[in-house]
Structure 1
Amino acid sequence: MSVARAERLVNLVLCLLSTRQYLSAERIRSIVPGYADAPSDDAFFRTFERDKTELRELGIPLEVGRNKVDDPVDGYRIARRDYELGEIDLEPDEAAAVALAVRLWDSPELTGAAHGALLKLRAAGVDVDESAPTAVESKVRTTEPAFGPLLAAVQAGQAVSFDYRKHNPVEVRARELEPWGVVSWRGRWYVVGHDRERSAPRCFRLSRVVGEVRKVGRPGQVHRPDDVDLLRFVASSSGEPQVSPAVKLWVADGRGAGLRRWATVVERREVDGVPGDVVELELAYPDTAAGWIAGYGADALVLEPDVLAKAVRERLLAAAEGPEWLARPEPAVEGNGVAR
């Protein structure tokens, strides 16, 4: 579903929930964002019919009726009594599943609702452990071009070759892999399989795959061993330790105001003859702060943790190789000063 269509459906649901009267199609067209752009009446009615069908398939109770007997056309509304859920009594394992879903809600619009759900669970006497390990990772992103070809190769049981960029030392080498699976670990995608050159299992980060993924041999020749836990293998071989929420940075004097806003100065230090402060910053998701910190260039240096320092270096190297500079978005900050 396109973003525009999803936004239009959300707007339509909100509109029909906020009224007790039946709204005609023309009335909906005039007040719901997304319908006014229809080039003709026929185009609007076709779009509106598709949207009504979509809502019904999603299980949303769309009522059709007329406010008065002499109304010329039917109208539409959504009755709150049919739309809203009643009281829910969750078992401990069900509450744990809700807590897991909360961890996957990353957008600022959902964060407040997610934490509100946890508060209600705890108020009901349910012990919810957000820090418990899980096989499901949050902050999943699939923007890497290699994702589709590698996943297709896994499904087809076909070997692949690709160029892979190492970060230390920086070099690009050809790899030939019998892929077993593609998994997400700490917000990054990895492919796991048998490396033919090394004759051993290996994992490769998709963001470091350079160029196209090439097929090797015939489909159906690659089979994943039954005793291999892909996620556990990536966790043990990726070289990325569990990251503490505390991040230690060096920031040059008179620089990095956005970093200093949420940080605590712990000591003075010079780096390459440049005076500055060593600061500590609490980040809920340190792995995803690399782009923000890299935007400060030489004015900020990550001291701890090492995984974040490596991620920042990779961003800076990528920026130096390409014409586009990195954006520097400010992270969302909770009321207690913890940035996300």
Structure 2
Amino acid sequence: MAQRTSERLVNLTIALLSARHWVSKDQLRELVSDYRDMSPTNFNRTFERDKKALRSLGVPIITGSDDGYFKDEPGYRISRRDFELPPVSFDSDELSALALASRVWREATAADDTISAIAKLRAAGAQVDSHRFEALAPRISASEPAFDVCWQATLDRTRIGFRYRGGDELRTVQPWKLTWRRGSWYLLGLDEARRAPRMFKLGRISSGPDTIGESGAFTIPAGTDVDALSRSLEPSEPDASALIAVRSGFQPWLTRRGTLTSSGIDLPEDFQCWRIPYASGDDLAAQIAAAGPDAVVLEPDDLRAEVVRLLKTSAGRPA
């Protein structure tokens, strides 16, 4: 949401909360500075959009009037009783869990939300000390370009379209859930062309995603166990393994999947050998290529060849 729009919504909320009586639309136009310079048509359109935005955020804007106060139009107010939250308290274990959760997000839009939430808790007097958990350093990255659109579409129940694995087909999907599995984000949703649920790895979305239509366009069918469905559609279990030389202290996302082993090959002194299990349909080659000089495939040959092909393609050389 643009900063100007956010400020206008905050000012409108303050005006409605501070009113002791019903406030007419014309009065709100004078109270909220952004409305004053708008033409009547633009103001009416913007005001209706702002009301819808606030209500979608859970702000209870109600309409009514005092007897004889308005003649031809309703007045507006925010119901304080429904708007204000009751006091919230947490025990020490709950505060610890909140502090730990605040350290998870690093790269997604949700990081801003965690910062805001912790700031509000501290302002209310809760002693949330996330630095106590530095040693644990839990992280869920969300660096995939498709993440933000898929995340918002899942919340808004908006259909999305994208191309997958470099194919030409446009997949139209009703996004139901985002799930984190084995170091990657997956989207669970209804593939409308196939009329069946499908799981999509965000890193394999090659074009898009783009939202299609309005929010609230679909609902998850009644009786659908999304969690169970997600588990049933998870990527296959590892059916192969690779021997990877990894620079010591680098690429922990890779080494924690495997077991330290001996290769019988002379490696540079700052490298260690790891046996890494993977599924044949996994993106291990792309992940190793992304590691650059910090990871080298020792075996199998086909995996090493695919990593070399990806590196040459990235360098602009013929594969």
Normalising by structure 1, report the TM-score: 0.39
Q: TM-score if structure 2 supplies the norm length?
A: 0.41
